[in-house]
């Protein structure tokens, strides 16, 4: 972990590309008072995504401390990554837990987080969050309602759980520059907790046919890009498991009219960073890791620092070369992160390393895992 004395202020150096103006041709040359007309080239957009927000008891206590003992303030925890998140055209998080009420907040094993998490996500620059996880039913239908209500109040969109059947059937669509991005989300399980009576739509469970049907429906409704968040995989396993690999291959292979049904897959749940891979021409993040979590203990009962390591994915999309074509990823990046449990802060490891923090071993380990399935050969680079 990074000592308090080495906390650093993080800043983003990546600059979003803007569309260049091109001069239109006319039958007559431009003359005085008649400048040559110009047409702006269609511009692309950047999408940023990050891993599990999983507030344990110690995280809740830290937020209360940061608020001065009155209420809860999660904004300082995320301040170190705000410059990356806020500069994207669209930014997505994974809200793994539900929110409690009237001070009834708990950590592991049944999570109920303070609703103040939501405005902190908004202040950091997140536009939407996936809310389908194995903890979505930790407080039943009431927990889902409180969580989505709080996200709504904060102006943060959500996908993966619902308060009503109509909401469950309606795709979440976010504007990303000139593009409409549909965000879908699913989870492998709910820790065995049953769906609320009469509400089989309360949380989206992973089902290959359902995911593809939803993706096609979103596309037919006008989505330019379809992003799918998957809460999947084997906890504490660096490598994607067979189920992840099979689903990634099947989902990315699906096409309608020669165009992929899904444009990006974002994975969460494993608690540790996992590989990025281009599968059938589509980027898949098998696991981003925990962005916010308390000190983690693995299945062997040992403290495992990997549980506080994660990545943030950043993808630059360009408009299609022809009408009705695919928005293509022209740049794929990952930013290694660490949640400093002692300081209670998310740390951009490349920025911290540049400023002298002793985090190279951690940064390099994350890099090696991310690139373990050949993503560098397909153009994935480490960003700041």
What's the CA angle centered on 197, arms 163 and 184, to 5 degrees? 40
The whole model's pTM is what? Answer: 0.89
Distance CA 260, CA 251 (A): 9
Give CATH superfamily name and number for 42-382. Answer: Metallo-dependent phosphatases (3.60.21.10)
Neighbours of 213 (CB within 10 A): 12
Residue 290 phi, psi (nearest 5): -85, 120
Residue 24 pLDDT greater than 50, yes or no = no
Give the contacts of 110 (CB within 8 A, at least 6 positions apart). Answer: 135, 138, 139
Q: Average pLDDT of 309-334?
A: 96
Query: Which strands form 264-268's sheet, in the order they lie side by side?
Result: 172-176, 179-187, 225-231, 264-268, 282-285, 276-279
Q: Average pLDDT of 256-276?
A: 97
Distance CA 38, CA 24 (A): 5
Asked if residues 171 and 185 have their Cβ atoms less than 8 Å apart, the reply is no
Q: pLDDT-derived band of residue 41, with 50, 70 and 90 as boundaries? A: low
Residue-wise pLDDT for 167-216, tens only, equals 999 999 999 999 999 999 999 999 999 999 999 999 999 999 999 999 99
How does 307-341 read in b/e, with b if 16+ C-beta sit within 10 Å? Answer: bbbbbbbbbbbbbeeeeeebbebebbbbbbbbbbb
Spatial CA neighbour of 185 closest among 216, 166, 162, 154: 162
pLDDT of residue 69: 92
Question: For the purposes of burial, counting CB atoms within 10 Å of the CB of 103, is it exposed (0-12), middle (13-18) or buried (19 or more)?
Answer: exposed
Asked if residues 379 and 110 have their Cβ atoms less than 8 Å apart, the reply is no
Q: Average pLDDT of 277-298?
A: 98
If phi > 0 it is left, if psi is from -120 to 50 it is alpha, else beta; for residue 327 that is beta
Residue 7 pLDDT greater than 60, yes or no = no
pLDDT of residue 40: 58
Q: Give me the percent of the chain exceeding a pLDDT of 70.
A: 89
- On average, the pLDDT of the chain sits at 91
Q: pLDDT-derived band of residue 324, with 50, 70 and 90 as boundaries? A: confident
Give the chain's count of helices (H) and strands (E). Answer: 10, 21
Distance CA 81, CA 85 (A): 6
Residue 9 pLDDT greater than 80, yes or no = no
- Cross-strand pairs, 176: 179
């Amino acid at each position: 972990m990074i000592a308090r004395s080495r906390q650093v202020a993080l800043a983003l150096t990546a600059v979003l590309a803007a569309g260049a103006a091109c001069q239109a041709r006319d039958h007559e040359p431009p003359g005085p008072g008649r400048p040559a007309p110009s047409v702006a080239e269609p511009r692309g957009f950047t999408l940023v995504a990050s891993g599990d927000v999983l507030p344990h008891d110690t995280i809740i206590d830290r937020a209360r401390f940061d608020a001065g003992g009155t209420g809860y303030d999660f904004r300082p925890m995320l301040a170190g990554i705000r410059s990356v998140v806020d500069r994207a055209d669209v930014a997505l998080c994974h809200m793994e837990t539900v929110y409690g009420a009237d001070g009834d907040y708990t950590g592991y094993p049944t999570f109920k987080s303070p609703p103040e998490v939501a405005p902190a996500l908004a202040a950091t620059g997140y536009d939407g969050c996936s809310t389908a996880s194995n903890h979505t039913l930790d407080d039943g239908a009431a927990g889902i309602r409180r969580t989505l209500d709080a996200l709504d109040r904060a102006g943060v969109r959500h996908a993966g759980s619902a308060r009503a059947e109509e909401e469950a059937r309606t795709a979440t669509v976010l504007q990303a520059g000139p593009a409409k991005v549909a965000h879908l989300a699913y989870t492998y399980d709910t820790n065995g907790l049953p769906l609320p009576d009469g509400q089989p739509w309360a949380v989206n469970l992973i089902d290959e046919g359902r995911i593809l049907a939803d993706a096609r429906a979103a596309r037919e409704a006008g989505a330019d890009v379809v992003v799918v968040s998957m809460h999947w995989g084997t906890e504490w396993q660096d490598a994607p498991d067979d189920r992840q690999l099979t689903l990634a291959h099947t989902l990315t292979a699906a096409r309608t009219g020669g165009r992929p049904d899904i444009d990006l897959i974002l994975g969460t749940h494993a608690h540790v960073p996992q590989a990025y891979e281009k599968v059938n021409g589509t980027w898949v993040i098998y696991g981003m890791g925990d962005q916010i979590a308390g000190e983690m203990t693995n299945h062997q009962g040992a403290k495992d620092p990997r549980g506080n390591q994660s990545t943030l994915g950043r993808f630059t999309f360009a408009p299609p070369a022809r009408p009705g074509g695919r928005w293509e990823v022209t740049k794929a990046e990952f930013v290694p992160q660490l949640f400093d449990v002692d300081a209670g802060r998310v740390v951009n490891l490349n920025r911290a390393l540049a400023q002298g923090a002793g985090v190279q071993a951690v940064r390099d380990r994350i890099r090696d895992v991310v690139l373990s399935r050949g993503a560098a050969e397909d153009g994935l680079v480490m960003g700041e």
